[in-house]
């Protein structure tokens, strides 16, 4: 029996030693984790409260944000603007707030998606358009993902009219092509389209839409596209209209003034 007592004591001592070692190991793991956690959190999921603030008033943040902020962690990043030499940091970038387009106040030949704010504004604009022309706005194209744009490029579209996949404003979920056309002449020679464009030119900025490609390829990198409108929120779209500046010019000015 005494030997059993001794064995029990030995066993308790061994267990205690394991327990202390386990606790030390756990403590060490926790310390390591707390050292690396802040970076891990930043990379994997942006601070939701920051994102909420940015999305609350995105145009203000587009104007004031550092041009270097190309993280795309929020949909308010200026790097949602892209052109021939700037592409998304993520090839598979999908906007956070895509919504299926409902055709109550818009018409189209196919199902489509658009960022929520852009879609809400487009619907408001289409209601105003309807008052003038007794018909809703016709959407030819809206959100296009990387694969879709790659498909377009592989078929027929020249670089002067269609962005390469990974570079298209349509991948932002903010751009729409309105009314069917393939060249500026084709669009403006059509009396109906021409009157639609005159109306859009006068009113689109109120609804946050900007004609991205209006100053020819030397400035905007693409031929003029009277059908292509990009949502920039009303504050920035109105500012650009007043200053007769395309978004590309604005973007360069921001880069130069850094």
**Residues at the contact surface with Zn ion, assessed by CB under 5 A:** 177, 228
Phi, psi of 204, deg, nearest 5: -60, -35
Minimum CB distance to Zn ion, residue 171 (Å): 11
Task: Compute CA distances 140 → 107, 147, 151, 166, 228, whole Å.
Answer: 9, 18, 16, 20, 10
Min CB(189)–Zn ion separation in Å: 19
Choice between 140 and 219, CB closer to Zn ion: 140
Residue 224 or 228 with smaller CB distance to Zn ion: 228
User: Measured between alpha carbons, how far is 200 from 220 in angstroms, rounded to an integer?
Assistant: 19
Distance CA 240, CA 243 (A): 5
Q: In the block, which residue shows the tokens 């100053």?
A: 215
- C-beta of 198: minimal distance to Zn ion in Å? 19
Angle subtended by helix axes 247-256 and 233-242, to nearest 10 = 90
The CB-nearest residue to Zn ion is 228
Q: Which is nearer to Zn ion, 51 or 164 (CB)?
A: 164
Q: How far is CA 157 from CA 83, 150, 164, 165, in A?
A: 16, 10, 9, 12
Greatest distance between any 2 Cα atoms in the chain: 109
Which is closer to Zn ion, CB of 54 or CB of 152? Answer: 152
- Whole-number minimum distance, CB 169 to Zn ion, in Å? 7
Minimum CB distance to Zn ion, residue 175 (Å):
5
Q: Are strands 106-108 and 137-141 parallel, antiparallel or unpaired?
A: parallel
If the CB atoms of residues 60 and 215 are measured against Zn ion, the closer one turns out to be: 215
């Amino acid at each position: 029996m005494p030997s059993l007592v001794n064995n029990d004591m030995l066993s308790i001592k061994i267990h205690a030693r394991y327990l202390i070692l386990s606790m030390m190991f756990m403590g060490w793991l926790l310390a390591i984790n707390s050292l690396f956690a802040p970076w891990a959190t930043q990379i994997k999921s942006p601070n939701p409260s920051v994102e909420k603030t940015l999305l609350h008033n995105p145009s203000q943040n587009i104007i004031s944000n550092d041009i270097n902020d190309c993280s795309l962690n929020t949909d308010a990043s200026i790097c949602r603007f892209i052109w021939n030499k700037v592409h998304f940091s993520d090839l598979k970038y999908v906007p956070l707030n895509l919504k299926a387009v409902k055709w109550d106040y818009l018409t189209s030949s196919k199902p489509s998606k658009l960022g929520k704010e852009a879609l809400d504004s487009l619907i408001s604009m289409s209601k105003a358009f309807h008052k003038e022309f007794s018909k809703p706005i016709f959407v030819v194209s809206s959100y296009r993902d990387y694969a879709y744009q790659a498909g377009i490029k592989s078929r027929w579209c020249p670089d002067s009219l269609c962005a390469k996949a990974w570079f298209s404003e349509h991948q932002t979920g903010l751009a729409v092509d309105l009314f069917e056309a393939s060249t500026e002449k084709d669009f403006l020679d059509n009396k109906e389209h021409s009157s639609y464009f005159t109306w859009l030119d006068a009113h689109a900025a109120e609804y946050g839409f900007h004609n991205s490609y209006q100053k020819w390829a030397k400035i905007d990198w693409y031929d003029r596209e009277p059908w292509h409108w990009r949502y920039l929120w009303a504050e920035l779209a109105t500012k650009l209209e007043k200053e007769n500046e395309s978004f590309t010019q604005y973007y360069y000015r921001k880069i130069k003034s850094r």
